[in-house]
A and B are shown apart, each in its own frame.
Chain A
Amino acid sequence: MCLSQHFWQFLVPGITLGCLYALIAIGYTLVYGVLQLINFAHSEVFMTGGFAGLFMVQALTNSGVVPHGAQSWLDMFLGLSCGAVFGGIVAFLLERVAYRPLRRRNAPRLIYLITAIGASLFLYNLAGKLFGRDKVNIPAMYTNGVVFTVFGAQVRVQQVIIICAAVGMMLLLDVVVNRTKLGSGIRAVAQDSRTASLMGVNINRVISQTFVIGGLLGGAAGFLFGAYLNVHYQMGFLPGIKGFAAAVLGGIGNIRGAMIGGLLLGIVESLSQSCMSSQWIDVVAFVVLILVLMFRPTGILGQRLGRAA
């Protein structure tokens, strides 16, 4: 069987990609939890994070010299936070400008989706206009050496950084959602927004906060993804759809589900690379999505942010 031969070689990048998908999927799932709608423009939050991180790193590094030691930690950290902050800002603005007026008018869900699609189209083409339409590499922030090998598969610095950063953020999010007042607000709105508002929860503020949290993670994922591959004005499209597929796979509206779904999707996608030519890789996510929707539409862990998270 094709799998057994290069299992570990494909597993490591699979986990790396899976962590990024999980970060994106959380953004979809959070918004779905509180508003019951798919934020199609989330992929552009991701793209913004990539560009913001790129500019930050470009400003920090001088050309040609690969930094090391404390300098590369600083670059990495500032790039990541810049990506996250700008992702959060774009998500916040999206909610303010595009969603809140619709919510006030109690618009049908079709209108939300179309608005989100329009916003997405607008944002990525604006980015293409402003920053050029070529693929850009984020300057190297560290020497990408091999850290260790697992059963013959090399694990590189970059992969370790992505996995650690993503897992760290996800743990932090889990604590925020389950242990803090902010988190209980989000869970309350997800469970029953009307009752939550009767209990004194400021729904509009909670929704804003939810978008910002999703945007922070999405923007950070954009930066990590950009450092892994490259930054491009259309970079959000495929990871966006895959992140959504991951969210559905794990059970949309369920945060831990999104994490598991993302990881699983990344691994499946990467492992199937050993069985088929890499041109067809993007099909895997869609096939997974359609199969999940057909056979277990509630996903692995089931829906409802309020109950299962």
Chain B
Amino acid sequence: MSQVGGLPIRVKQSRKVDPRLVRLFGWLVLGALLRLMTVTTEGTSTNHLLVVDAAFKSTKLIGWLVAGFIMWVLTELWRARKIGALVTSRTTGVRRQWRTVADRALSRRAALLAVVVAAIVLPQFLSEFYQRVLVDQVAVFVLLAVGLNVVVGWAGLLDLGYVAFFAIGAYTCAYFTGALPVAPPFTLNPFVILPVAVVVCLVAGLLLGAPTLRLRGDYLAIVTLGFHEIVQLFLVNKNNWTGGNQGVSKPVPHFSINLFGIHYKWTLASLPYWYLFIGMLAIVVFLFSRLEHSKVGRSWTAVREDEVAAAANGVPTVKYKLMAFAIGASTSGLAGVLYASRLGYINPASFPVVLSISVLSYVIFGGMGSIIGVIAGSALLTFLPAVFQEQNIVRQEDIPMWIGAILVTMMLVRPQGLIPSRRRRRELRLASEGVADADAMSEAPEGRGTG
């Protein structure tokens, strides 16, 4: 109590703990958490604390705690500008040089060429297992991620039902090849189904997007999540149409060409499929990169950065959001056809909700809005888990946990992603200064749809 002008004023003593100690505590907790996450025993329903026991009664815990402590020391030194100044003064020059090299159009083309050549040549030397990983995981998810990038990265819409369109594409393929219990009016070659599935998913995307894209952007996330769940329930419960949980009744046939005297049939071998996939991917990437700086792409940027301003300047925001949503959906459908035909067998369990979130995390990890970043991110995050799994480092069931952890860490530490697009990096910086918006999450300026 102190007296000011005769009036008693209570001065609250703030009992602040030294922030450095708080940070130390945080690092130690993180170390313990990482020990829990890396423990190899799996919990059971009978003894719930089995895993906790195994994790904390082991000497490895000490290793993780020490690692946490070292990280704390390093970050404190960094904060105190002891190491920080040293490193930044060394690297800024190098970084600037690297930037100018990376920006030069010629070197970018050379890098692109190198990647393409590597994608064509390198898989030849891989073992059959890794070739299969490349086709079934990397190629499929890169294609999916490139499509989702249009929705999330360019238009700034959060679509959590993206894999539902993947499922629709796959089941469209199964239907028109006669693999479902319901007989189609005519059977088609998977190549012919590609455009059909694209149209089907486009329509599905429009039907879902039309009522919801007029609303607040964050409602879209939960509605698309619900849409995924509905599609899933439909696939499981409509036994006489989709085969229910058992999946398709006959194998989905492989791709084949029978045109102008050329006969070729894809088989179980992975390499031919790999070339088919990267061919499709090349087409999609080419089309999308043309879109990025076209009128459509610029409209998406406008909508994402400031929806109200975009609408005020005559951009029909709902129309362009719908377009992005539908383009994303049809890319997903395209990937679905390739996937169904490649594996020959699909069931509802191939399209869990968590897959939508995984694809989202690949886009985020790579860098929203940058095609190269998204391709790199999704290739890394699909190939590495396969390697870890093969080497028995991480259990398959734990992969979603790591993906969740990566998502959170990435958002906290580097929200622009691995290889960000320059535009998004600028948007995020401006947003932190309170200027720009960087997503299409606010109220749609056209007002609330009244039906």
Contacts and interface: CB of A to CB of B under 8 A. Distances in A.
A121 B397 contact: no
A238 B451 CA distance: 27
B103 interface: no
Q: Which secondary structure characterizes the binding site on chain B?
A: helix
Contact of A108 (B219, B400, B431): B431
Given A115-B411, A283-B230, A295-B450, A132 B42 contact: yes
Contacts of B229: 238, 241, 282-283, 286
Interface string B248-259: 000000000000
Contact of A293 (B158, B215, B397): B215
B211 A293 contact: yes
Contacts of B51: 129-131
Interface stretch (A99-107, A154-162, A175-183, A185-193): A99-107
A115 B432 CA distance: 16
A118 B405 contact: yes
Given A106-B431, A290-B223, A121 B215 contact: no
Interface stretch (B118-126, B287-295, B436-444): B436-444
Given A102-B412, A297-B448, A241 B441 contact: no
A109 B441 contact: yes
Contacts of B407: 114-115, 117-119, 121-122
Contacts of B46: 132
A297 B48 contact: no
Nearest to A115: B411
Interface string B184-217: 0000000000000000000000000001100111
Contacts of A216: none
Interface in B40-56: 42-46, 48, 51-52
Given A38-B222, A108-B441, A118-B404, A286 B397 contact: no
B237 interface: yes
A111 interface: yes
Contact of B451 (A55, A237, A244, A294): A294
B448 A102 contact: no
Contact of B233 (A111, A121, A282): A282
B79 to A, nearest CB: 15
A37 interface: yes
Interface residues of B, number: 68
Contacts of A102: 411-412
B158 A110 contact: yes
Contacts of B226: 241, 245, 285-286, 289-290
Contacts of B408: 98, 115, 118-119, 122
Contacts of B403: 118, 121
B239 to A, nearest CB: 10
Given A55-B48, A115-B407, A241-B222, A279 B434 contact: no
Nearest to A98: B408
A279 B237 contact: yes
Interface stretch (B170-178, B268-276, B277-285, B353-361): B353-361
Contacts of A123: 404
Nearest to B413: A101
- For B160, B229, B434, the residue with the greatest tally of chain A CB atoms inside 10 Å of its CB is B229
Interface string B24-44: 000000000000110100111
Interface string B135-170: 000000000000000001000101010000000000
B406 interface: yes
Contacts of A98: 408, 411-412
A128 interface: yes
19 contacts: A40-B221, A102-B411, A108-B439, A108-B441, A109-B442, A110-B156, A110-B441, A113-B218, A117-B407, A122-B404, A125-B397, A126-B37, A129-B398, A132-B42, A241-B226, A280-B237, A283-B230, A295-B451, A297-B448
Given A40-B221, A241-B226, A245-B226, 16 more contacts: A54-B48, A107-B431, A108-B431, A111-B415, A113-B221, A115-B407, A118-B406, A118-B408, A121-B400, A129-B39, A238-B229, A280-B233, A282-B229, A285-B226, A286-B223, A286-B230
Interface of B: 36-37, 39, 42-46, 48, 51-52, 152, 156, 158, 160, 211-212, 215-219, 221-223, 225-227, 229-230, 233, 236-237, 353-354, 357, 360-361, 364, 397-398, 400-401, 403-408, 410-412, 415, 427-428, 431-434, 437-439, 441-442, 448-451
